[in-house]
Amino acid sequence: MHIEPGVVDGAKIALSYATAAGGFAMAGKLARDDVRNNGGVAPLVLRSLIATALVFSFFEVFPHHPVGVSEVHLILGSTLLLLFGAGAASIGLAAGLLIQGLFFAPFDLPQYGMNVTTLLVPLWGISLLAKRIVPDATPYVDLKYSQALALSTAYQGGIVAWVAFWAFYGHGFTAETMTEVASFGAAYMTVIIVEPLADLAVLAIAKTLRRQSQGPLFNIRLHQGA
């Protein structure tokens, strides 16, 4: 989901600063909720550090290919939310993306506002969706495939929607832009297929290793209802 340099430039890039500010405000709200309901400040810091390291590895180690106006990544946003909570996941996404830009991909820094918006706003969306489709009494380790698929599809769909927005905002509704956006969306279908399976596999491991996957390093909701 890294927006390619040049897709949005000049004065238009100022909009990304505003959307990023909104994304950070959402992340702050999620982090505050985590402090209140998910163990306090110290566990949030620990989970955020783990999430940051994972996000960085997702971007640098996992295969990623430029397609159309952006790159296709296996980000595992819903997995991070289920394992570590929405607050830690949002901090990890923002910090992991920033570390990658600062030390390994400085050419991506001008697009940081767009990219962080593209990651954080859909995460906030699936945090709300999870409250609607997962009963309060259900631990996340007992999620059904349909629920994992809904969360993953919503997250990846949000990413595709934001990438399309930035492309059309930067280049207008041209035939070329539409083709590039369609190519990117089609390529992202592979991620939508893989991520729910990854979610269920990780949750199955957490359920098997119940003793090891409890405590401050993991989301309280992983093994107990709300």
CATH number at residue 198: 1.10.1760.20
| Gap between the Cα atoms of 79 and 107, Å rounded | 28
Q: Residue ranges of the alpha helices (H) in 38-144?
A: 41-60, 77-84, 86-103, 112-133
The total number of structural domains that make up the chain: 1
Give the sign of the dihedral formed by CA 120, CA 63, CA 140, CA 92.
negative
pTM of the model: 0.94
Each residue's pLDDT expressed in tens, for the chain with a length of 226 residues: 788 888 998 899 999 999 999 999 999 999 999 999 999 999 999 999 999 999 999 888 887 777 878 887 888 999 999 999 999 999 999 999 999 999 998 988 999 999 999 999 999 999 999 999 999 999 999 999 899 989 988 998 999 999 999 999 999 999 999 999 998 888 877 777 888 888 889 999 999 999 899 999 999 999 998 7
Residues spanned by the domain of 176:
2-222
Report the alpha-carbon distance of residue 215 to residue 194 in Å, rounded.
Answer: 28
Q: Which residue has the tokens 């394992």?
A: 83
